[in-house]
């Protein structure tokens, strides 16, 4: 990053998120030049936490969990960011994809993946949580449909469906320096309950979860190297 770009980034970040947040982001970036380090904010949402009722409505879209056959069709188009390899593993695990499909043309507009079991974060770490909750990961909105809050709408619709199935709500995590995502999910209704620190250096992985994570059974387990290879390949976008 040259000096002009660096100055532009700093000014923009300070205006949007403040000095403290910008310094935290710089710290994370500097540490990651030497080792893999990340702080994940754990968060949860129940239907009663969603303050905007319009987020449960999806006019013009077919909002539901997709069938396996539909997923395989969508996986053939790289633009959807779902590879056949990822899909095979996600379906074998029992994970489900909740999507918004444009009723006018059948185009996939937005989606998110939902799991009720421990889920790899990358090649070194696996997220674990109380299975009374459902973990949401790998959300994606197609470029043509961005700016319409479809990511939040999809999560809220999935939340309502999963609550009807007996789940407490959704649980998720966002990197502590991903300020745009943190702002978006907290505005939707997610409540941050704690954090998990992840460090991978010299071939070894270490984790620490804060006390607020305990009521949710929320923590991260280092992955064995053999399992880590598959995780890095197939769950690279939590």
Domain encompassing residue 13: 1-34
User: Is there a contact between 131 and 115 (Cβ–Cβ < 8 Å)?
Assistant: no
In a shared domain, residues 41 and 153: yes
User: Is there a contact between 215 and 125 (Cβ–Cβ < 8 Å)?
Assistant: no
In a shared domain, residues 29 and 120: no
In a shared domain, residues 207 and 161: yes
Residue 223 confidence (pLDDT): 85
For residue 50, being part of any structural domain is answered with: yes
In a shared domain, residues 129 and 175: yes
CA angle 188, 192, 196 (to 5 degrees): 135
Tell me the β-bridge partners of 113: 97, 137
For residue 199, being part of any structural domain is answered with: yes
In a shared domain, residues 24 and 42: no
Tell me how far apart the terminal alpha carbons of the chain are, to the nearest angstrom.
Answer: 26
| 109 CB-near residues (< 8 Å, 6+ apart) | 61, 99, 100, 101, 102, 141, 142, 144, 145, 150
- pTM exceeding 0.75: yes
In a shared domain, residues 28 and 45: no
In a shared domain, residues 42 and 9: no
How many residues in total does the chain contain?
A: 238
In a shared domain, residues 10 and 49: no
User: Would you give the DSSP letter of residue 118?
Assistant: -
In a shared domain, residues 208 and 227: yes
Give the total number of structural domains in the chain.
2
CA distance 189 to 185: 6
CA distance 8 to 16: 12
Residue 12 confidence (pLDDT): 67
Q: Residue 198, Cβ neighbours under 10 Å: how many?
A: 20
Residue 36 confidence (pLDDT): 86
- Structure token digits, residue 91: 């379906």
CA distance 21 to 13: 8
In a shared domain, residues 3 and 42: no
For residue 72, being part of any structural domain is answered with: no
In a shared domain, residues 27 and 39: no
For residue 93, being part of any structural domain is answered with: no
For residue 73, being part of any structural domain is answered with: no
Residue 6 confidence (pLDDT): 58
In a shared domain, residues 12 and 46: no
Q: The tokens 């990511």 sit on which residue?
A: 151
Residue 6, CA distances (Å) to 1, 118, 178 in order: 6, 38, 17
For residue 20, being part of any structural domain is answered with: yes
Residue 123 confidence (pLDDT): 84
For residue 51, being part of any structural domain is answered with: yes
Residue 225 confidence (pLDDT): 65
CA distance 85 to 59: 32
For residue 67, being part of any structural domain is answered with: no
pLDDT in tens, the chain (238 residues): 566 665 565 566 566 667 666 666 666 677 667 778 999 999 999 999 999 999 999 999 999 999 999 999 999 999 999 999 999 999 999 999 999 999 999 999 999 999 999 999 988 999 999 999 999 999 999 999 999 999 999 999 999 999 999 999 999 999 998 988 899 899 999 999 999 999 999 889 999 999 999 999 999 999 876 554 444 344 444 3
């Amino acid at each position: 990053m040259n000096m002009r770009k660096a100055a532009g980034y700093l000014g923009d970040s300070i205006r949007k998120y403040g000095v403290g947040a910008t310094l935290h982001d710089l710290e994370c970036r500097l540490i990651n030049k030497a080792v893999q380090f990340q702080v994940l904010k754990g968060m949860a949402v129940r239907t009663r936490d969603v303050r905007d009722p319009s987020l449960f409505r999806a006019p013009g879209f077919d909002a539901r969990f997709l069938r396996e056959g539909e997923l395989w069709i969508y996986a053939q188009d790289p633009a959807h960011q779902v590879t056949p390899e990822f899909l095979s593993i996600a379906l074998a695990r029992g994970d489900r994809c909740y999507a918004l499909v444009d009723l006018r043309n059948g185009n996939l507009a937005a989606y998110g993946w939902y799991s009720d079991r421990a889920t790899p974060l990358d090649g070194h770490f696996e997220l674990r949580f109380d299975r009374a909750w459902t973990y949401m990961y790998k959300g994606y909105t197609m470029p043509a449909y961005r700016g319409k809050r479809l990511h939040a709408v999809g999560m809220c619709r999935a939340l309502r469906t999963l609550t009807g199935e007996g789940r407490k709500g959704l649980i998720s995590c966002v990197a502590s320096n991903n300020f745009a995502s943190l702002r978006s999910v907290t505005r939707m209704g997610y409540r941050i309950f704690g954090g998990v620190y992840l460090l991978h250096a010299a071939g070894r992985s270490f984790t620490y979860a804060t006390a607020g994570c305990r009521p949710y059974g929320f923590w991260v387990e280092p992955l064995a190297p053999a399992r880590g290879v598959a995780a890095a390949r197939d769950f690279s976008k939590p």
